[in-house]
Structure 1
Amino acid sequence: MISPPRSVRHPVRVAHLGLGAFHRAHQAWYTQLAGDGSGIAAFTGRSAEAARVLAAQDAVYTLVERGAEGDSATLMEVLSEVHDGADTEAWRRVLADPEVGVLTLTVTEAGYRPGSSAPARVLDGLLARHAAGAGGIAVVSCDNLPDNGRVLRDAVLALADPGSDIEAWIRSEVSFVSSMVDRITPATTDADREAVRRLTGWDDAAPVVTEPFAEWVLAGSFPAGRPAWDAAGARFVDDIAPYERRKLWLLNAGHSLLAYHGLAAGHVTVAQAVADPALAEELEELWSEQRTELPFDTATVNEALAALRSRFGNARIEHRLAQIATDGSQKLGPRILDPLRSRLGSGRDPGRSQLGVLAAWAEHLAGPDVRDAGAAELVERLRDATTARERAGAVLSALAPDLTDLTDPLAERIAARQQGALA
């Protein structure tokens, strides 16, 4: 049978840009769990396909929480509208609605690059809201960037005419909220869709499979109100930086290490990579290097790492390394280079495993399956390089010109990888 008919369509209180699996497993899940009747109007980012598939089943989908012991399914009805992101008429209509108090975004790190379309689309929506006199709104970034709300605010204001009414209105009436988001959500496969049919009896073309764990920490104001996300377990704090660093420097950095080392070793998923004793040892070394830079006590970090070991080892979540490996040029700065800089600033040596991630990434860029638009020039430089030292210099000049003093130790790690060793 097809998915069951929708039992309720909630009034739209939230707009969202980036209608992917992560949004539907995280912000949409929190909004439905809040239980206050808030609905979401969601717009796709780069491709209209997700909106097309979801619209065909009335925007209802199945969320499967896949734990180590089994699956549980929830029917998700929180998406009240789904749209192609290119539908500017619908976008402006939703953002101009005074009942819509929040705009959330999941556009990934690459969506904040200069020239990307996300900031321009946000500004377009805010122009429509300002013209309609609909009042202030909170814009909530849900991507793996430090201080992502400020990054988006700066990008949007950079596009507004200096001294214009819209610039003044954004500065006074629009809140840009930073948030730390966490829930491992692999891309959905045909096997997942078949598993959902067996579990529920529904033919769902757009299910989402995710882990049981979820976390959301937010910092900022909501001038037009918000869903009761705190009732669903979200945390609201004054300073989000420590939570961002914990997530980026432990989970995301660990993912990058496993992706680049793991793909080179022939592994496909996170669980396969972390089951490799050599990679597990390298991961533990990275965590030991990163944890010294976190503003949390030993017990708190130990608890976070214990949870990550369990989550990474959940072989029923097929989180593919190739998915994690995309856009390393955007991801490695906040995940690896920032904690490396912190170590140096604290008088510590650069982390051997931190440099190892950069070395593995350099090797990845020389391979056949590179999906990283921001590294196109570096890829050419690496292909022309003839020595490990030239490759190290190219990587550091592209990602971190302030760290070129580390060329020699990075070259040692690159040379070790060329000889087929992690050490």
Structure 2
Amino acid sequence: MAPLVRSTPALPVRHVHLGLGAFHRAHQAWYTHVAGDAGIAAFTGRRPDAAVPLAAQDGLYHLLVRSASGDRAELVTSLSGAYDGADLSAWTEAVASPSVGVLTLTVTEAAYRRSPSGSLDLSDPSVAADVASIPGGVAQTVPGRLVLALASRRASDAGPIAVVPCDNLLDNGPTVASVVVALAGAVSASLAEWISSNVSFVSTTIDRITPATTASDIAEVASLTGFADAAPVVTEPFTEWVLAGAFPSGRPAWEVGGARFVDDVTPFEQRKLWLLNGSHSLLAYAAPLRGHATVASAVADPVCREWVESWFELASVFLPFSSPDLAPYRASLLERYENPRIRHNLSQIAMDGSLKLPIRVLPVVTQARAAGVMPLAGAVALAGWIAHLRRGVDVRDPRASELIPLAQADDETAVRSLLGVLDAALAEDKELISVIVETLRDLTR
């Protein structure tokens, strides 16, 4: 089997990325590859693991694109360097380079260290440690590493830069800006002022299902290509990227790959968060109670499919799109969910529910209740989440130690308490609580 090595030099680095996981390599790195005009210096977020095989094969890897009709392998060449995120010297040097105009991020919602109000949690011990250590050139959190890198860019007089968060946060550009400026302000008022004046925070919405790569996937890539690729990524044919904001130092030609640049991403963001992510969360919590482990398995179950379609009907009422505009998007979601070649594990989607539900499910539930509608499909999602917490198995959530004990109370108390964690107003809605309690009993009966 032939080793995977470059036959031509890597492109000069114009794009830096934090969060070197499978999604980045299926999404932003693929768009930069298709643009063909920039290389990426990519850094891991939490662990060095992803960088090791990629560095060994010169940043090259394959996308294994799985459609219902079969697989194809596509070589991606945009990674000019793959680095351990703990290498702060390489990190700050990369962001401080005048040739770099873009810094993208895929680090998950929890990594931004926000308080329940959405602002930076300055009481977080790791955030507090960063405030003290950034002047000495050390940071451990994502906001801290951003501030450290931007301070280095300021010191090198490298000019403005665009920060492009690609995580599922509402208004992710302004949201990340507020976190970064708040941490910078705790370190240095002048640094915070420089960031506010020289750093553009671009809002985005992103979409491409990317399940975990297995040993059989690696073998399939070898069979299709003849190369020994230790770091392939599995993905679906569909991809979407919508961006709004300024790029003061230029950017790769992502539109070549189909990226859309708009004045306001909010309608696209809501459509994706409520329809795709909302239905994913519903399935992640409720479908395992019917014995399902993947999205494809769940949506093949008529009961689960009815939940999803009911959720689509409910959420669509509150989206700024007409029914004819939404119909193709909804149909495409079901087609993607049904793809038998994509193993999208429900346990992966279920992570960080206390952060995801407030932006995926609660906006629809809240608007429905304000309109006098009982959101039955929303009750399935919320009851499923409570059942998930009650089982206490594979609960991966930054508030797990608080939430799991609350879920062990009697049904009504558990529902009221856990709704209160998500939204205090909903915890006072007796009719909604009653419906969620009954739904919880139905699901677990």
On whether the aligned pair clears a TM of 0.5, the verdict is: yes
Counterpart among 102, 121, 146 of residue 170 in structure 2:
146
Counterpart among 278, 281, 298 of residue 303 in structure 2:
278
**Deviation larger for 258-267 or 269-278:** 258-267
Aligned to 1:255: 280
- What amino acid maps onto 1:404 in structure 2? A
1:180-195 equivalence runs, <5 A? 180-195=205-220
Counterpart among 144, 151, 166 of residue 127 in structure 1:
151
**Residue 352 of structure 1 pairs with residue 353 of structure 2:** no
1:376-395 equivalence runs, <5 A? 376-383=401-408, 385-386=409-410, 388-395=411-418
Deviation digits for residues 187-233 of structure 1, max 9, x if unmatched? 11111111111111222111001000000000100011000011221
Aligned to 2:135: none
Aligned to 2:227: 202
Q: Give the TM-score of the pair, scaled to structure 1.
A: 0.96
Distance 1:283 1:351 in 2: 13
Verify the 8 A CA contact 1:330 1:374 in the aligned structure 2.
no
Aligned to 2:19: 18
Counterpart among 347, 351, 369 of residue 322 in structure 1:
347
Distance 1:182 1:420 in 2: 30
Q: CA deviation at 1:343?
A: 2.5
Aligned to 1:335: 360
CA pair 420-126 structure 1, distance change in 2 beyond 3 A:
closer
Verify the 8 A CA contact 1:356 1:410 in the aligned structure 2.
no
Q: CA deviation at 1:409?
A: 2.6
Aligned to 2:6: 6
Verify the 8 A CA contact 1:19 1:42 in the aligned structure 2.
yes
Task: Give the SS at the match of 2:216.
Answer: helix
**Residue 174 of structure 1 pairs with residue 199 of structure 2:** yes
Verify the 8 A CA contact 1:62 1:73 in the aligned structure 2.
yes
- What amino acid maps onto 2:419 in structure 1? L
**Residue 231 of structure 1 pairs with residue 256 of structure 2:** yes
Q: CA deviation at 1:64?
A: 1.3
Q: CA deviation at 1:161?
A: 2.8
Verify the 8 A CA contact 2:281 2:350 in the aligned structure 1.
yes
Task: Give the SS at the match of 1:140.
Answer: strand
Q: CA deviation at 1:350?
A: 3.4
Task: Give the SS at the match of 2:227.
Answer: coil
Verify the 8 A CA contact 2:182 2:192 in the aligned structure 1.
no
Q: Give the TM-score of the pair, scaled to structure 2.
A: 0.91
Q: CA deviation at 1:381?
A: 1.6
Q: CA deviation at 1:246?
A: 0.3
Distance 2:442 2:268 in 1: 38
Q: CA deviation at 1:415?
A: 3.4
Q: CA deviation at 1:405?
A: 2.6
- What amino acid maps onto 1:221 in structure 2? A
- What amino acid maps onto 1:395 in structure 2? L
**Residue 157 of structure 1 pairs with residue 158 of structure 2:** no
Task: Give the SS at the match of 2:334.
Answer: helix
- What amino acid maps onto 1:219 in structure 2? A
Distance 1:146 1:419 in 2: 32
Deviation digits for residues 41-97 of structure 1, max 9, x if unmatched? 000001110011211222111111111101111111110011110000000100110
Aligned to 1:399: 422
**Residue 410 of structure 1 pairs with residue 411 of structure 2:** no
Q: CA deviation at 1:338?
A: 1.3
Verify the 8 A CA contact 1:291 1:301 in the aligned structure 2.
yes
Task: Give the SS at the match of 2:5.
Answer: coil
Q: CA deviation at 1:408?
A: 4.2
Distance 1:181 1:354 in 2: 23
Aligned to 2:120: none
**Residue 30 of structure 1 pairs with residue 55 of structure 2:** no
- What amino acid maps onto 1:146 in structure 2? L
**Residue 292 of structure 1 pairs with residue 317 of structure 2:** yes
- What amino acid maps onto 1:169 in structure 2? W
Verify the 8 A CA contact 1:112 1:151 in the aligned structure 2.
no
Verify the 8 A CA contact 2:379 2:435 in the aligned structure 1.
no
Q: CA deviation at 1:118?
A: 1.1
Task: Give the SS at the match of 2:377.
Answer: helix
- What amino acid maps onto 1:235 in structure 2? R
Aligned to 1:47: 47
Unaligned runs of 5+ in 2: 115-123, 128-140
Deviation digits for residues 119-177 of structure 1, max 9, x if unmatched? 11111100000000000000001011110011110000111136722111111110000
**Residue 304 of structure 1 pairs with residue 329 of structure 2:** yes
